[in-house]
Amino acid sequence: MNNHNEMQTTFLSVAENESFARVVIAAFAVQLSPTVSEIADIKTAVSEAVTNAIVHGYEGTRGMVTLRATIQDRNLLTIEIQDSGKGIPDVSKAMEPFYTTHPEQERSGMGFAVMQTFMDDLMVHSTPGSGTTVRMSKRIHSGGGY
């Protein structure tokens, strides 16, 4: 029995593709037999990461967003959202709850906090001018998968 699987898809950084990313990650994660709650957590975290890439990474321009996911050990789902946008000058500051670079757009500044809440692990790597990679993982406790 195989205990490793992976997928990757790349899409244009337009708001309509945020829901596409949610569906793709849910379809991939279903092989782990997650609960409805676990699927909701994963979809919410991916939604936040993709929205950050679209709104902040590309900020009014367009580029490509890559969604990668791997399954290891039959219950560990690791997800990466990567953009080649403007990057984050101060990742620590950006990860502070309520910090936003766009208060005029009524952004809550809670994107990274939401990701941390719903996932078991979160890593953000960013290089100004080169883009950002958000890597997060979650252990699925309910199933055991394929």
Catalytic residue annotation: 48, 52, 107
Q: Give me the residue label for tokens 């990461």.
A: 49
107-135 b/e with 16+ CB inside 10 Å = b? bebebbbbbbebbeebebebeeeebbbbb
Query: What is the maximum alpha-carbon separation in the chain?
Result: 52
DSSP annotation of 49 reads H
- Positive or negative, the Cα torsion across 60, 9, 134, 137? positive
Cα(74)–Cα(144) distance, rounded to whole angstroms?
A: 6
Tokens of 138: 């979650």
